[in-house]
Amino acid sequence: MQTRTLGQNLEVSALGLGCMGMSFSYGAPKDEAEMITLLHKAVDLGVTFFDTAEVYGPWTNELLVGKALSPIRNKVVIATKFGFNCVAGAAPGALPLNSHPDHIREVADASLQRLNIDTIDLFYQHRVDPDVPIEDVAGAVKDLIAAGKVRHFGLSEASAATIRRAHAVQPVTALQSEYSLWWRRPELEIIPTLEELGIGLVPYSPLGKGFLTGAMSTETTFAANDFRSKLPRFTPEAMKINQAFVDLLAAIAKQKNATPAQIALAWLLARNPGGKCQLVPIPGTTKLSRLEENIGAAAIELTPADLAEINTAAATITPEGARYPEALEKMTNR
């Protein structure tokens, strides 16, 4: 697989792997042995970039990633996140934010232990804490970098103004934010800011939390412990309207002998390929077949005509339903 560079010098595979769903948010945690096999298979297929967070579980996803990847540490780049006061069994939306410098240092030490590594490659602030100046957050991570515990600093779902303030204290290597064909708000202000500053973008939910794969319909139901059951975009009414995005992807996929998921990822990979803001999507999966399908997207070439067709058609579709409940949406773009 080809590689891309986030920020100034963090080289990673063009597609990463989001690990959250292996332990958290999409129903019951998956079998540990199966997930370790999946993680190893991802490495065999060329993936070098893996994403986790202390809040996923909480803690259990970092333990899983550490168990699977620490024995092959020299082959992988591991990103994790701080920013919440974690409590066992609580959903992130119910957890208080905490990015005080002393807490950041505590989380770094605990994450290093759970991941069984000496240095965190990319340490994101998971959500901006309005009670802690971003300069203090950036300064705390800068100290961790100086101490050798962290290599790179990242932000997640931060506003352009916050990105600029943080970057002035400690260069930001990457911003992680939701970005896909049905959530394009980063194009308005975020991506131009990242391009100006030379910061990479790591799109999470690049497949619309599974919706853009085409595997769902208005008949799809979600378990109570699947957080999509609480998302406005996943009501039957919203999915009926949003099916237009899947139909668009399916039409292009038919031309390319591909799948809707592969076209959704290829569309992201084709965005700004020569710019200073490199995009590295991190689709998550717990299935080997989906892993192989997603990685296959890296080999698909969309021509300028293909991209124009997709963008023109997508511009006529208005996504139905908010992406998050109000309380969670308020934690973004700060």
Which superfamily is assigned to 3-211+268-300 in CATH? Answer: NADP-dependent oxidoreductase domain (3.20.20.100)
Cα 264 from Cα 249, distance rounded (Å)? 7
pLDDT in tens, the chain (334 residues): 999 999 999 999 999 999 999 999 998 999 999 999 999 999 999 999 999 999 999 999 999 999 999 999 999 999 999 999 998 877 767 889 999 999 999 999 999 999 999 999 999 999 999 999 999 999 999 999 999 999 999 999 999 999 999 999 999 999 999 999 999 999 999 999 999 999 999 999 999 999 999 999 999 999 989 999 999 999 999 999 999 999 999 999 999 999 999 999 999 999 977 899 999 999 999 999 999 999 999 999 999 999 999 999 999 999 999 999 999 999 999 9
Give me the pLDDT at residue 274, please. Answer: 81
| Strand blocks (E) in the chain | 3-6, 10-13, 17-18, 49-51, 77-82, 120-125, 150-156, 172-178, 200-204
Cα 334 from Cα 328, distance rounded (Å)? 12
Q: Measuring CA to CA, which residue among 73, 84, 130, 77 is closest to residue 107? A: 84
Give me the pLDDT at residue 272, please. Answer: 78
Triad 104, 196, 79: Cα angle to 5°: 30
Token code pair at residue 52: 């986790």
Q: Measuring CA to CA, which residue among 121, 270, 257 is closest to residue 181? A: 270
Give me the pLDDT at residue 188, please. Answer: 96
Q: Look up 204 and say whether it is catalytic.
A: no
Give me the pLDDT at residue 92, please. Answer: 65
- Contact by Cβ (8 Å): 68, 36: yes
| Residue among 56, 124, 179, 204 flagged as catalytic | 56
Sign of the CA dihedral with 171 first, then 176, 180, and 182 last? negative
DSSP 94: G
